[in-house]
Amino acid sequence: MPIFFQQRGMTATTKITRSFELTNPAFLKHINFVNEHYGRVLSVNLLCKTKPGEQAITEAYENHLKNNNLPAYRYEFFDFHHACKGHKFYKVNPLVLKVLPLIEGFKFYAEDIQKKAILMTQKGTVRTNCLDCLDRTNVFMTKVAMMAFECQMKHLGVDLKAVFGQDALAQLDNDNVKQQHPFILQFKNVWADNGDVISQHYAGTGSVISQVTRTGKEGFFGMIDHYSKTLGRFYIGNFEDSVKQEVIDILLGQHTETVNGNDISWLK
């Protein structure tokens, strides 16, 4: 989310740290960077309305969108937790189908290698966020990736519905392994791996919903995995993140000699 905010304490209380006036220059710099590099932007916000901290961030974000002229920036809000409660990720499909014309309009890069001729270039991108851009974001972007892949296959004359025996999104949501095309199984594993790697880097554990992404359902062992990763994230976030933050501050030249009285001479 292109807003300055922080989370503190055991409950990760969320607080906006800069006013609209102090945030707006950085906000516009970010938006302009995305537009210059990727063209038109579809921004999808997956935060939760019923969580005060997340709603405060959404309101701040929407305030910047409302008070700036951004003709190449399309915004969509979708309360992922409310709509997809209980891992019913298929309920995000109406939003995916709503923005499908934009995804198709963004096109993709295509090149005739033999003739060394560029046939098509990508005109836009999808910018998705939840609070930390991990689990909710990866679920939605998996669906976007499938729609983008279907557009590419149409360009090559391949009808995925005929190949899969059902609509691409329905095939992606199908939790019966015996009914899934081998490509879908690999596709889901690639995106589950993507979610695990990003989550490991940021939160210290794999994605809490990687089992659902891979198979379409959680199951007993998936539930145990979910809760163990949640506990792991809680411990790492409260007892180990401070060291990582110190390293970041040192790399950015923003560190005072010590933080919370800890000796950091070993980092120099």
pLDDT, tens digit, 9 for 90 and up, residues 21-45:
999 999 999 999 999 999 999 999 9
Mean pLDDT taken over the chain? 85
Contact present, 41 and 10 (Cβ < 8 Å): no
Is residue 218 predicted with pLDDT exceeding 70? no
- String of DSSP letters for 60-129: HHHHHHHTS--TTEEEEE--HHHHTTTT-GGGGHHHHHHHHHHHHHH---EEETTTTEEEE---EEEEEE
Q: Is residue 33 part of a domain?
A: yes
Report if residue 251 sits inside a domain.
Answer: no
Is 73 among the domain residues? yes
Give the C-alpha separation, 119 to 154, whole Å: 15
- Give 230's pLDDT tier (boundaries 50, 70, 90): low
Q: Is the Cβ–Cβ distance between 44 and 140 less than 8 Å? A: yes
What distance lies between CA 201 and its chain's CA centroid?
Answer: 14
- Answer yes or no: are the C-beta atoms of 218 and 212 closer than 8 Å: yes
Q: Is 189 a residue whose pLDDT tops 50? A: yes
pLDDT score recorded for residue 68: 97
The number of domains in the chain is 1
Scored b (16 or more CB within 10 A) or e, 198-222 reads bbeeebbbbbbbbbbbbbbebeeeb
Q: What is d(CA 10, CA 7) in angstroms, rounded to the nearest whole number?
A: 9
Q: How confident is the model at residue 194 (pLDDT cuts 50, 70, 90)?
A: confident
Domain span at 96: 1-133
Q: How far is CA 32 from CA 40, 119, 183, in A?
A: 10, 27, 37
> What are the φ/ψ torsions at residue 154 (nearest 5 degrees)?
-60, -40
Query: 15 forms bridges with which residues in the sheet?
Result: 6
Asked if residue 170 is part of any domain, the answer here is no
Question: What's the pTM?
Answer: 0.80
For residue 205, being part of any structural domain is answered with: no
Within a domain: 95: yes
Residue 28 belongs to a domain = yes
Other CB atoms closer than 10 Å to residue 66's CB: what's the count? 9
48 and 83 in contact (C-beta within 8 Å)?
Answer: no
* Within a domain: 6: yes
